Amino acid sequence: MSEVLLKGKSKVVRQGVCDDSLVIEFLDCVTAFNGDKKAEFVGKGALCAAISGIIFRHLEKHGIKTHLIKDVSETSVSVKKADIIPVEVVVRNKSAGGFAKKYGVDEGSSLKNVVVEFSYKSDTLGDPLMNESQITALGLADQSELRDMADEALKINQLLVNFFASVGIELADFKLEFGRYQDEIILCDEISPDSCRLWDIATGERLDKDRFRRDLGDLLEGYAEVFNRLNSR
């Protein structure tokens, strides 16, 4: 296997076969609270790889440009080597998690509009929220890139709200990362129960990483439920 370029909390990135490709391996490791809580669940990497693959292919089919090239194994995917913009984009359809806590709004409350938030992708700083002028002041991204990312995030949200609703799941919120690739901004990283809040519409059951963050139940069972529903769609 080629050299490891980057080891993240839940993924490893290696050089791909061509110069401008990478191989991302999804690990069984799961972390929360900026890495303070950690565990391993055998099979989690494969489930996230499979779910993220289904979602990225769905988005590609509907005109969203992504880094995806092809699956290379149960846990690895070959992707375009984009220059990752160090700004995480969170989209919220319902109050939950950090939003509920910060603004004192009950989890599950409706919002009058979809929320798009930017934060600085920095583990050492704990991914702090950032407004547009702070991002441009530090040169992390420019105005037009931020506009493209926000527009793209809202398009992705609409596609995914409908996609998950078709299998009885509410997409409460999720996090995206984008990268620069050949003069374009493309969707990178992953979209999986590690990076989304997914609520069973019928029961309200959490099917995502909150099972681990909040000790709500078996993590793999929730992720497998998401996979099975999307896969049999």
Give 91 or 224: the residue with its C-beta nearer to ligand TMP.
91
CB of 23 to ligand TMP, least distance (A): 21
Q: Are 88 and 82 in contact (CB under 8 A)?
A: no
Choose, by CB under 6 A, the member of 24, 59, 82, 90 that binds ligand TMP: 90
Choose, by CB under 6 A, the member of 28, 71, 107, 127 that binds ligand TMP: 127
CB of 136 to ligand TMP, least distance (A): 22
Measured from the Cβ of residue 113, the count of other Cβ atoms closer than 10 Å reads: 7
Residue 190 Cα distances to 70, 84, 109, 177, angstroms: 14, 13, 26, 8
Give 16 or 59: the residue with its C-beta nearer to ligand TMP.
59
Rule CB under 6 A: say whether 175 interacts with ligand TMP.
yes
Token pair of 189, please? 């990283």
Give 152 or 173: the residue with its C-beta nearer to ligand TMP.
173
Chain position carrying tokens 């998401």:
226
Rounded to the nearest 5 percent, the helix, strand and coil shares of the chain are 30, 35, 35
Choose, by CB under 6 A, the member of 11, 94, 197, 211 that binds ligand TMP: 197
CB of 24 to ligand TMP, least distance (A): 15
- Counting every residue written for the chain, the total comes to 233
Rule CB under 6 A: say whether 226 interacts with ligand TMP.
no
How many residues in the shown chain lie near ligand TMP by CB under 6 A? 12
Choose, by CB under 6 A, the member of 195, 211, 212, 226 that binds ligand TMP: 195
Q: Are 189 and 177 in contact (CB under 8 A)?
A: yes
Contacts of 5 by beta carbon, 8 Å cutoff, 6+ apart:
13, 14, 15, 22
d(CA 25, CA 158): 28
Q: Are 188 and 179 in contact (CB under 8 A)?
A: yes
Give 33 or 63: the residue with its C-beta nearer to ligand TMP.
33
Give 16 or 97: the residue with its C-beta nearer to ligand TMP.
97
Chain residues binding ligand TMP by CB under 6 A are 90, 96-99, 127, 173-175, 195-197
